[in-house]
Amino acid sequence: MQIGPYQLTNQLIVAPMAGVTDQAFRNLCLRYGAAMAVSEMLSSNPELWDTDKSRQRMSHSGEEGIRSVQIAGSDPDEMAWAARYNVEQGAQIIDINMGCPAKKVNKKLAGSALLQSPELVKRILDAVVTAVNVPVTLKIRTGWDPEHRNGVQIAQIAEESGITALAVHGRTRQCLFKGEAEYDTIKAIKQNVSIPVIANGDITSPEKARLVLDYTGVDALMIGRGAQGRPWIFKEIQHYLDTGKLPAPVDNAEKRQVMLEHLSKLYDLYGAYKGVRFARKHIGWYLNQEEQRQFRAEFNQLESAAEQCSMVEHYFDECVLDK
């Protein structure tokens, strides 16, 4: 799939997830075979940029792969300004968020709340596309609620405005992340526009990836929660798409190496204090089996990087590798 001048090496993209897809996580996923990783959502309001969190999200030092930066907001002029600013900072693609279902985003008429206002959607898309000389992509949901799935209409507006690729999460805003994603709307969108369409939602296994590609006819897949604690899912999916066979499971030695590397990158990115706290959720995702509940409870009480690394090493040395 091609986005502007950028030819993706395969059909697998890392979904932007606030508080999750930071540079450490994105680079891990890219090394495991993702063709592109979209950054965490950044508000278009410059008054919110003077924080450590925003500065980290706007920094591309050490970034691997194509730099796709997602922005969110509801004011066309502000969104255009934010797009220009991020391009000046090194963004190679600007992605517009119209899919986030969070209340704090929607109450500002941003994220998926915009799907209720197709005219405003067009004004925002026109403003951003005109403002920058890099490709602009869009992330949406299938609609505001199950009775108002207007994804096809929004997709057609996006194509008319010059959006170069469209990612669609197979739920409405009202659905949040409950129930199962539906792909009928995504299939209909693909059939009604000529720009590349990317399917997102509940793609958590190689078999599901194949099913969604075949059923919807989309150009690529965007994987979010399925990659949490499992960055190697991109390698697994690509192997299955290429061969029709499931790969051998990632062994414990590799899991140990990845977890320790991830911890190290989090400490480097956020510093010791914040890095320790961000590490808790990531390690929880890596070790999500019922029998590991006690490990997570103890790990989440640790206050230093050294203690966290030591506990991970001990877990694999004593509890896993010796079995």
Residues labelled as active-site residues: 100
Residue listed under structure tokens 């051998």? 248
Residue 147's contacts (CB-CB under 8 Å, 6 or more residues apart) are: none
300 labelled binding-site residue: no
244 is in an annotated binding site: no
For residue 46, what are its two tokens? 């410059």
Q: Which residues pair with 199 in a beta bridge?
A: 168, 221
In Å, the largest CA–CA distance within the chain is 61
The response to whether 45 counts as a known ligand-binding position is no
Q: Is 41 annotated as a binding residue?
A: no
In the Cβ-directed half-sphere of 6, how many Cα atoms lie within 13 Å?
Answer: 21
Q: What is the DSSP letter of 84?
A: H
Does the annotation flag 79 for ligand binding? no
Q: Answer yes or no: is 139 a known binding residue.
A: yes
Q: Is 249 annotated as a binding residue?
A: no
DSSP-based three-state secondary structure for 36: strand
d(CA 26, CA 93): 15
CB-count exposure of residue 83 (10 Å: 0-12, 13-18, 19+):
buried
Q: What is the dihedral of CA 251, 253, 258, 263, to 10 degrees?
A: 130
Does the annotation list 247 as a binding residue?
Answer: no
Tokens for 274, please give them.
């914040």
At residue 154, the 3 state secondary structure works out as: helix
Residue 308: left if φ>0, alpha if ψ -120 to 50, beta else—which one?
A: alpha
Q: Which tokens belong to 198?
A: 């990317």
Please tell me whether 255 is known to bind a ligand.
no
List residues forming the annotated binding site: 16-18, 70, 139, 200-202, 224-225
List residues forming the annotated binding site for FMN: 16-18, 70, 139, 200-202, 224-225
